[in-house]
């Protein structure tokens, strides 16, 4: 049995498999196996894999369970010590997975480790979704070393140090499989978006660390530079609020409860003014569903293991910092 399973969750991603899978096959061998978990695709993804990569193990799910439950179901059929979740639109490089496994092998308190994410389209720039490690501010807004809000930096080696972070992108995330299962995996209510940050927050509350290892780097196509759909906006807002309710300290939760309604209302009004009513409605609907989830979120909050105070939360507003000139990560954390 391989010590590492690289698991690609695919849903109607034939074009991504054709473009990016060759690099993964070429650079994943030795003590690592490659698995494609298919989330009920209706395109010809499975036929493409059968004809071109008959040796790749395929886990077939009966329908599209989303990112969260799709991975939970797939990993329930995996037995390796470590699992590396990899998006289908990621190009990897030679020796990409070994430094990640080395961190887990040598640092027994690290739950998850991630490579540096660079943009597939502009290979000298960080990728929006994860860059060189992620953090959140006190209101729950995510940002990264190399990307703050919409400003993405060039990679000039300025964030090439291995260090603890708050979250790593689910686009390429290596973690301990047993711990993933013990903590319940991703929150399946999320469907997609924010589930990896939620999981890594729970890992840290349980006493574990999250690390970025820039000695490993991959290229991610991603969607951070594309226009946000109202569906994506809804999921991001709803899941972010749910995550904050579940995981944050009492003080942080009070601050969020007081401030976030005003910031989200301002965002919704801005969408209306700029003639994007569907996006405005997505923000409002996210709050409605979040409120309707109150009972289940309270139960989840009580069930979370809390052994350690979580570090690497920015105790200020990243939006305020950004507006007043702090568009780079340097000297922030």
pLDDT in tens, 90-111: 999 999 999 999 999 999 999 9
When pLDDT is cut at 50, 70 and 90, the band that residue 223 belongs to is low
Higher local confidence (pLDDT), 215 or 222: 215
Task: Please report the sign of the dihedral spanned by the C-alpha atoms of residue 293, residue 296, residue 298, residue 303.
Answer: negative
Query: What is the mean pLDDT of the segment spanning 147-167?
Result: 96
Write out the two tokens for 325. 């000139």
Residue 240 has pLDDT above 90, yes or no: yes
Q: Distance (Å, rounded) from C-alpha 123 to C-alpha 136?
A: 25
When pLDDT is cut at 50, 70 and 90, the band that residue 333 belongs to is confident
Q: Model-level pTM greater than 0.85? A: yes
Residue that the structure tokens 């849903």 belong to: 11
Per-residue model confidence (pLDDT) at position 225: 39
Per-residue model confidence (pLDDT) at position 30: 87
Residue 226 has pLDDT above 60, yes or no: no
Alpha helices in the chain (DSSP H): 14-27, 45-52, 66-75, 98-106, 177-182, 195-205, 230-247, 250-273, 277-292, 294-303, 318-323
Per-residue model confidence (pLDDT) at position 228: 62
Write out the two tokens for 259. 């401030």
Beta pairing partners, 8: 36, 86
Query: Domain residue spans in the chain?
Result: 1-88, 90-333
Beta pairing partners, 212: 114, 163
Q: What is the dihedral of CA 176, 180, 182, 186, to 10 degrees?
A: 170
CATH entry, 1-88, from 3.40.1280.10, 3.30.420.40, 3.40.50.1000, 3.90.550.10? 3.90.550.10
Residue 227 has pLDDT above 60, yes or no: no
Query: What is the mean pLDDT of the segment spanning 304-325?
Result: 91
Residues with Cβ within 8 Å of residue 207, at least 6 apart in sequence: 109, 307, 308
Q: Distance (Å, rounded) from C-alpha 37 to C-alpha 58?
A: 6
254-263 confidence digits (pLDDT tens)? 999 999 999 9
Q: Distance (Å, rounded) from C-alpha 204 to C-alpha 275?
A: 41
When pLDDT is cut at 50, 70 and 90, the band that residue 113 belongs to is very high
Residues 169, 171, 173, CA angle at the centre, nearest 5°? 65
Per-residue model confidence (pLDDT) at position 224: 45
Q: Which residues of 61-94 are buried (b: 16+ CB within 10 A; e: fewer)?
A: beebbbbbbbbbbbbeebebbbbbbbbbbbbbee
Mean pLDDT of the chain: 95
Write out the two tokens for 267. 């965002």
Percent residues over pLDDT 90 in the chain: 92
Among 4-18, 169-183, 234-248, 314-328, whose mean pLDDT is lowest? 314-328
129-144 confidence digits (pLDDT tens)? 999 999 999 999 999 9
38-79 confidence digits (pLDDT tens)? 999 999 999 999 999 999 999 999 999 999 999 999 999 999
Among 70-74, 111-115, 239-243, 320-324, whose mean pLDDT is lowest? 320-324
Per-residue model confidence (pLDDT) at position 12: 95
Per-residue model confidence (pLDDT) at position 324: 87
């Amino acid at each position: 049995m391989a010590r590492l399973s690289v698991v690609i969750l695919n849903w109607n991603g034939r074009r991504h498999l054709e473009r990016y899978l060759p690099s993964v096959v070429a650079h994943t061998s030795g003590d690592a196996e490659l698995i494609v978990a298919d989330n009920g695709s209706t395109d010809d993804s499975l036929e493409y894999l059968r004809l071109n990569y008959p040796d790749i193990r395929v886990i077939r799910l009966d329908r599209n369970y989303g990112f969260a439950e799709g991975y939970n179901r797939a990993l329930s059929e995996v037995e390796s010590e470590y699992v590396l979740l990899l998006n289908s639109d990621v190009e990897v490089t030679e020796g990409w997975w070994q430094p990640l496994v080395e961190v887990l092998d040598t640092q027994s308190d690290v739950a998850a480790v991630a490579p540096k994410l660079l943009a597939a389209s502009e290979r000298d720039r960080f990728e929006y979704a994860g860059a060189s490690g992620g953090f959140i501010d006190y209101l729950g807004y995510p940002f990264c070393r190399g990307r703050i809000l919409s400003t993405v930096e060039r990679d000039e080696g300025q964030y090439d140090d291995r260090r603890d972070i708050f979250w790593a992108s689910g686009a390429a995330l290596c973690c301990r499989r047993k711990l993933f299962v013990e903590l319940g995996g991703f929150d399946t209510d999320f469907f997609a978006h924010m589930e990896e940050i939620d999981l890594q927050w729970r890992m840290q509350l349980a006493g574990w660390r999250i690390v970025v290892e820039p000695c490993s780097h991959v290229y991610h196509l991603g969607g951070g530079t594309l226009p946000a759909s109202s569906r994506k906006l809804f999921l991001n807002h709803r899941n972010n609020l749910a995550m904050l309710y579940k995981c944050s300290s009492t003080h942080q939760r009070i601050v969020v409860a007081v401030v976030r309604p005003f910031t989200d209302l301002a965002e919704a009004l801005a969408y209306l003014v700029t003639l994007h009513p569907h996006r405005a409605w997505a923000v409002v609907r996210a709050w409605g569903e979040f409120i309707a989830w109150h009972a289940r979120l309270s139960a989840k909050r009580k069930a979370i293991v809390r052994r350690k105070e979580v570090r690497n939360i920015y105790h200020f507003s990243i939006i305020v910092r950004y507006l007043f000139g702090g568009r780079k990560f340097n000297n922030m954390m």
